[in-house]
Amino acid sequence: MLFLGLLIYLFTLPLVYWFILPLSPAIRSLPFPVFVIMQYGFSALLGMLLTYLVDIYHPPVKRRIKNLVRITGVRWLCALTTIVILTCICIEFFWFREVPGALSMGFLIPAFLVSGLNAIGLEIPLRRLEERPEPGKVVLPEIPPAPEIKEEIVRNFQWKYEEKDYALSLIIRQSVYESFKTRNRNPDISKWVEEYVIGGITGEIRGLAHQLYKIGMPFGTYQEVDFVLSFVQQAIQYQHEEAEYPRFPVETLADGTGDCEDFSILGAAILKCMGYEVGLMVLPGHAGLGVAGAAELPGIYVEKDGLRYYYCEMTVDGWKIGQVPEEYEGKRMEVFPVPSLPVKVVRIEDTSNRTQGKG
Domains recognised in the chain with CATH numbers: 2-129 (no CATH), 153-337 (3.10.620)
More confident residue, 159 or 45: 159
Give the residue from 334, 343, 190, 323 showing the smallest Cα distance to 275: 343
- Position 76 scores a pLDDT of 45
Is pLDDT above 60 for 345?
no
More confident residue, 137 or 299: 299
Least confident of 98-102, 124-128, 226-230, 285-289: 98-102
Angle (CA) 326 327 332, round 5°: 105
More confident residue, 105 or 184: 184
pTM summary value: 0.56
| For range 56-69, the mean pLDDT | 62
What is the C-alpha to C-alpha distance for residues 68 and 7, in angstroms, rounded to an integer? 10
| For range 33-50, the mean pLDDT | 66
- Return the percentage of the chain with pLDDT > 70, whole number: 54
Within 10 angstroms of residue 284's Cβ, the number of other Cβ atoms is 9
Is the Cα dihedral 256, 258, 262, 267 positive or negative?
Answer: positive
What is the C-alpha to C-alpha distance for residues 208 and 171, in angstroms, rounded to an integer? 9
- Position 56 scores a pLDDT of 65
